[in-house]
Every structure is written in C-alpha cells, then in structure tokens.
Amino acid sequence: MNNTFFSWFDKKFIKVDRTHILRTKNIRLIPDFKNRRGGKLSYAEWAHVIGIFQTIIYQNLENKTGNQILDIGCGTGLLGIAAEPFTFNGGSYTGIDVMSKDINFCKAHFESDNYKFIHFDVANPTYANTQSAELKPWPIESNSKDLVVALSVWTHLSEADAIFYFKEIERVLRKGQKAIITFFVLDEDYQASLNKRTDATGQFHNTSQKEWIFDVAAYDSKNWFTTTGAKTPEDAIAVSKEGLATLIKESGLKLVQHYPGNWKEIPGVFFQDVLIFEK
C-alpha cells in the first residue's frame, strides 16, 4: 500500500472513527497520516503512546487539573494530546520545537485558548541545521511549570546541548515538581541485551536490532554515544550511566523513577527509557 493511498484511506478512517469516540475524547486530536511524526506513523501507535504517557503524567502530577505543562520538542502534538486532561480548570500547555513546520501545524490544529506553541530558533544537526548555533534559554519564565515533558529529545542532543538544556528543566520547574524525559540509557539492561540480538554465529535476528547499538563516541564524548549508521550523531544518541549522573549533578534534579525501555530486548512501558526527575 503506497503512502498516497494510505493517506487518503487514513483521512476517511479518522473521520468515521471520531464519530465513535465515547470516553477518550482527547484522541480526537490525533492528526492525519502526513502530520504524524516523531518515529510513529500508525494511528494505533499514536493512540497507544498517548495512553502510556497520559498514565505516566497522571501518576506524577500532585494536582490532576489546572497544571502548567511545558512540552520540549513537541513535534505535531503527541504529548499535547496526552496532556490535555491535566490542563483543564485554569491550566495551560506550551509546546516548543525547533521545527517551524511542526509549530505552524500545531497552531492551526490545536484550537484551545490555553494551548500555546513556540518556534525555538536554535540549531539541531538532524532537525534544524540552518538555525542559530547559539545555546540560549527557553522563552519560559523561571519557576513557572508544574510539569516538563520531552519525548525523544535528549536522544538527539550532544553532550553540551544535553547538559545546557537539562539545567533549563530545573530553571523552569516549580519546587517539588517533576519532569518526564525519555532517553536511551546504556546501563546493565542494555549490556545484557547485546547477546540477545544475535544468534550463535553472531548474525542479528533482524536489522532493527542492529540499529540500536550505540558503539560510536558522539563528538569524542566519553559518555554520549551514537550508532554506526547515523549520518550525524544527533540522529540517535544514547547516554551512559556516568553521563546521566553528570546531567543530574549539573542540573540539581533528582532521579525518582526509571522505566526501562523495550529497545533493550526486555518488556517495557515504552520503546525508550522513561525517566522521572524532581526539582
């Protein structure tokens, strides 16, 4: 099935499907095929991941409504959909992204007055390589957010960028509040997974298992790594346990929960590692 036909079929399906939504009203906001990005194209997978993160958000918010939520690397709004119930009754959602195309889509797609989207004019070699190379703070007031979320953002940041923007998480969070960030963490589960990926002859069981082996230093870093297939390190970046400890030390945030990802050939709540930090 080619993408042109699938896109046409997807629009028809979504139109009919929305007439049958009874109890999960925020999934009405799932965009059509051509606007689903972030490594997930399937409507079902978007709905699945929205459900996962809606649950994790619920578990990590003290107040279930009226929250001020910041989404870093918002893309076309997957976590914006998951966050919607928690912004009712005076709350707000702000999405930031380096891709102006995605921000323009979100501004047109999300009609709620309490939703705001900001194009962040900084460079990323994978997603926005012509923008400003200067590291600069997010245009967000300090100590103003009840929750920061970032889905597959630190998996595309070099060591220097990762540290700088981890400090930004601490700056914008209110005291005692949390951040939900996804990573590829190179820990014991990752090391154990390497033997599960190959057979007795050393051949990979499937090509996707080779894709998630991080054995190349990213810009000569000792703790940030990329894959042999990456065109630029920011295509896919993992961090060692020592690198994670550096992020925690530099930011002052505290790691309070770690959900291992199923990219490590083990059962997990999500593909990447999901880490919860507290200010």
252 vs 249: CA distance, rounded Å: 5
Q: Which amino acid, residue 233?
A: P
> With contact defined as beta carbons under 8 Å apart, do 97 and 59 qualify?
no
Q: In the beta sheet, which residues pair with residue 93?
A: 69, 115
Residue pLDDT, tens place only, 205-241: 665 656 799 999 999 999 999 999 999 999 999 999 9
Give the N- to C-terminal CA distance of the chain in Å, as an integer: 48
Q: In the chain, which ranges are continuous DSSP H helix?
A: 3-18, 43-60, 78-83, 100-109, 159-172, 188-196, 207-211, 241-251
pTM: predicted TM-score of the whole model, two decimal places: 0.95
Q: Rounded mean pLDDT of the chain?
A: 94
Query: Looking at residue 200, what is its pLDDT?
Result: 57
Query: Looking at residue 192, what is its pLDDT?
Result: 93
> With contact defined as beta carbons under 8 Å apart, do 94 and 70 qualify?
yes
Query: Looking at residue 39, what is its pLDDT?
Result: 84
Which residue numbers in the chain have pLDDT < 50? Answer: none
> With contact defined as beta carbons under 8 Å apart, do 94 and 140 qualify?
yes
160 vs 122: CA distance, rounded Å: 14
CATH number of 49-278: 3.40.50.150
Residue 2 CB contacts under 8 Å (≥ 6 apart), including other chains: none
181 vs 72: CA distance, rounded Å: 9
